[in-house]
């Protein structure tokens, strides 16, 4: 080590010696000053050398990269833990405040009574609400608490305030399965956790699972999606542009979280009549590497299979957002057996219906008066026609979910629709009549960005500790969730009794929020991650 330092000093002297002729004699002020700064100059050069070496270690991920990265991550986590601004619990407090100030309009005769699970962006708490919008139960599990220091699938996590539940399902016994997202990270899938009704961790799945999942309770399986980067061309897929982010379907054990099977999406298309879709759709300009962006998977259950004669029970319906494509995959052959595009764009949450059709949210396929809006479509896979839509030409209702999106067909034929940035859930009849309207109370804005007009209800992201998007929902019957059997009746407000609630007319119940606040934000503030 001493020899290295001597060589370094000698090299610096040789570098500076040619300039010595420009300096005055050895007794001059400048010469004396240089004598005094030799040591600081040497230390500065050493710091520069260490910086260059450290940069190379991180860039090329060479030893001791792992140890340094772990130390850096631990320090970052400690700093975040000391900051109230980065405390995820503050997000939950904000969300609960907005839930408590919600506005609910409810038509008791026509709405489908049940309990609704909601997930809000930047919150690691999932909420179960009743028809009056009141919290019946909650599950809270911060990502860092669930995974601890053992998360090899996420080397450098984003700050805790940006990690939230993007998807989730509730089981009959009160267990909750949640899918984490790390906003602004790429890939953003942060894994899956299963907790009991008291929010105690039962297991974690340490892969880059993202969006949502399908839970088959009877078979004891979970169908989810994971994504990852492929840097070099795959055999038989050399014509694609690399690097790219690919998706796989994974099958997990509901009991243990262990991975039971995996279907590679690229291979599922390769060698089938549908592999043309791999080459003939325009990539997303800002993220050409995000190849499929699969946002949901659903299994065709045996009781629905007879309504879909072209498919077989057990096959999987997937929604590929960036390709504006829906496809059906056989889990036995692991190949695509059917795929199609349609009059939709960037769709979400495609699902089989009991009437033999496919329901989906068409996020950006409705064009009205030079503006883009979202619509709900019911697609007939036999005729390739649209058999139902909302809104239609008889209903004047406009909203835009440029990212995220969830829709659910309820047992009584009504449809539950989530407005991402409007923080609103509406339940509509087949005729388009709104019979349940649930609105979280949050500041709103209106913004024009890159030629698109975003309607009122788009939220400000200035405060990450404020709920800014409704990313997931699902309505359950009370029979599906027996663990809340004791809470069948809505809790009365202060001063009310159960008899007061039962005696209310079946027309409409309205709970007014506090006055909404209008907030101006920069026009270019827009999240492109989902």
Q: What is the pLDDT of residues 306-343, one digit of tens each?
A: 999 999 999 999 999 999 999 999 999 999 999 999 99
- What is the band of 68 on the pLDDT scale with cuts at 50, 70, 90? low
What integer is the mean pLDDT of 180-187?
94
- Strand ranges (DSSP E) for 87-152? 103-107, 115-120, 125-129, 135-140
492 vs 496: CA distance, rounded Å:
5
Which tokens go with 182? 């790390």
What is the rounded CA–CA span in Å between residue 465 and residue 530?
19
pLDDT digits (tens, 9 = 90+) for 234-255: 999 998 989 999 999 999 999 9
Q: Which residue has the tokens 């809790």?
A: 491
Average pLDDT, stretch 427-435?
A: 96
More confident position, 434 or 68:
434
For 106, how many CA atoms within 13 A lie in the half-sphere containing its CB? 21
The overall average pLDDT reported for the chain is 81
d(CA 468, CA 461): 6
Phi, psi values for residue 279, rounded to 5°: -120, -10
Q: Buried b vs exposed e over 429-439: b needs ≥16 C-beta within 10 Å?
A: beebebbbbbb
What is the rounded CA–CA span in Å between residue 228 and residue 527?
Answer: 21
Q: What is the pLDDT of residue 12?
A: 55
Distance between CA 69 and CA 58 in Å, rounded? 8
- According to DSSP, the residues that pair with 140 across neighbouring strands are 125
Residue 118 has pLDDT above 70, yes or no: yes
pLDDT band at 530 (very low <50, low <70, confident <90, very high): low
Instruction: Of 31-40, 109-118, 199-208, 220-229, give the lowest mean pLDDT range.
Output: 31-40
Q: Which position has the higher pLDDT, 201 or 280?
A: 201
Q: Read off the pLDDT of each residue in 194-209 and give the average, rounded to a whole number.
A: 97
Percentages helix, strand, coil for the chain (3-state, rounded to 5) are 25, 35, 45
Position 31 scores a pLDDT of 62
Which of 41-55, 153-167, 466-480 shows the highest mean pLDDT?
153-167
Inter-helix orientation angle 38-60/29-36, to 10°: 50
Confidence check: pLDDT of 360 > 90: yes
Strands 415-419 and 424-428: antiparallel
Q: Work out the percent of the chain whose per-residue pLDDT is above 70.
A: 72
Cα–Cα distance, 247 to 150 (Å, whole number): 23
- Once rounded to an integer, what is the mean pLDDT over residues 372-401? 93
Q: Report the pLDDT averaged over residues 213-221.
A: 97
Establish how many alpha carbons lie within 13 A of residue 47's alpha carbon, considering only the half-sphere containing its beta carbon.
6
Taking the chain, what is the end-to-end CA distance rounded to the nearest angstrom?
A: 51
67 CB neighbour count, 10 Å cutoff: 9
Which of 525, 415, 523 shows the shortest CA–CA distance to 468?
525
Cα–Cα distance, 380 to 451 (Å, whole number): 33
Q: Contact 13/20 with Cβ under 8 angstroms? A: no
Would you state the pLDDT for residue 92? 62
113-to-230, 270, 308, 357, 425 alpha-carbon distances in Å: 46, 45, 29, 24, 14
Each residue's pLDDT tens digit, 438-462:
998 864 433 333 333 333 333 333 3
Give the pLDDT mean for 388-401.
Answer: 90
Measured distance CA(439)–CA(104) in Å, rounded: 6
What is the β-pairing status of strands 189-195 and 176-182?
antiparallel
Cα Dmax for the chain = 103
Question: Can you name the residues that pair with 508 across neighbouring β-strands?
Answer: 107
CA distance 351 to 69: 42
| Integer Cα distance of 456 and 458 in angstroms | 6
Give Cβ neighbours of residue 494 (< 8 Å, ≥ 6 apart).
Answer: none
State the pLDDT at residue 488: 47
User: Strand locations in 231-334, DSSP E?
Assistant: 244-253, 259-264, 294-299, 316-320, 325-330
**Is the distance from CB of 295 to CB of 329 less than 8 angstroms?**
no
Tokens of 479: 């029979």
Considering only residues 161 and 203, tell me which one the structure prediction assigns the higher pLDDT. Answer: 203
């Amino acid at each position: 080590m001493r020899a290295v330092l001597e060589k370094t000093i000698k090299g610096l002297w040789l570098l500076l010696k040619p300039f010595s002729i420009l300096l005055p004699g050895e007794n001059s002020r400048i010469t004396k000053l240089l004598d005094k700064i030799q040591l600081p100059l040497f230390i500065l050069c050493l710091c520069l050398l260490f910086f260059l070496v450290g940069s190379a270690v991180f860039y090329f991920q060479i030893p001791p990269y792992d140890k340094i990265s772990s130390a850096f991550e631990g320090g970052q986590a400690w700093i975040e833990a000391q900051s109230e601004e980065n405390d995820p619990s503050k997000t939950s407090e904000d969300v609960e405040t907005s839930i408590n100030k919600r506005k609910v309009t409810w038509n008791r005769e026509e709405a489908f009574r049940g309990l609704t699970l909601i997930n809000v962006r930047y919150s690691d708490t999932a909420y179960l609400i009743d028809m009056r919008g009141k919290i019946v139960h909650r599950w809270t599990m911060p990502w860092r608490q669930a995974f601890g220091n053992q998360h090899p699938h996420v080397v450098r996590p984003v700050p805790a305030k940006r990690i939230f539940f993007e998807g989730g399902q509730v089981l009959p016994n009160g267990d909750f399965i949640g899918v984490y997202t790390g906003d602004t990270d790429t890939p953003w899938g942060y894994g899956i956790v299963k907790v009991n009704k008291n929010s105690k961790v039962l297991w974690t799945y340490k892969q880059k699972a993202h969006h949502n999942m399908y839970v088959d309770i009877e078979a004891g399986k979970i169908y989810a999606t994971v994504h990852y980067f492929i840097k070099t061309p795959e055999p038989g897929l050399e014509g694609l542009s690399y690097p790219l982010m690919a998706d796989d379907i994974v099958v997990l054990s509901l009991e243990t979280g262990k991975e039971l099977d995996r279907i590679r999406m690229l291979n599922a298309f390769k060698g089938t009549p549908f592999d043309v879709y791999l080459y003939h759709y325009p990539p997303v300009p800002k993220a050409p590497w995000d190849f499929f962006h699969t946002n949901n998977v659903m299994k065709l259950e045996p009781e629905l299979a007879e309504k879909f004669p072209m498919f077989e029970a057990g096959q999987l319906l997937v929604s590929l957002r960036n390709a504006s494509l829906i496809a059906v995959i056989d889990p036995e052959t692991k190949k695509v057996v059917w795929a199609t595009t349609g009059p939709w764009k960037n769709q979400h949450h495609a699902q089989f219906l009991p009437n033999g059709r496919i329901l989906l949210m068409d996020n950006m396929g409705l064009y009205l008066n030079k503006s883009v809006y979202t619509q709900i479509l019911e697609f007939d896979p036999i005729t390739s026609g649209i058999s139902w839509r909302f809104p239609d030409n008889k209903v004047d209702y406009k909203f835009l979910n440029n990212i995220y999106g969830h829709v659910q067909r309820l047992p009584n034929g009504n449809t539950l629709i989530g407005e991402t940035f409007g923080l609103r859930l509406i339940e509509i009849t087949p005729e388009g009549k709104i019979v349940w309207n649930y609105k979280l109370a949050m500041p709103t804005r209106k913004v024009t960005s890159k030629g698109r007009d975003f309607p009122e209800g788009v939220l400000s992201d200035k405060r990450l500790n404020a709920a800014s998007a409704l990313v997931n929902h699902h309505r359950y019957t009370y029979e599906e969730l027996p663990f809340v059997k004791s809470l069948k009746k809505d809790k009365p407000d202060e001063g009310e009794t159960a008899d007061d609630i039962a005696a209310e007319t079946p027309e409409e119940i309205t709970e007014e929020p506090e006055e909404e606040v209008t907030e101006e934000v920069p026009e270019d503030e827009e999240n492109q991650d989902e």
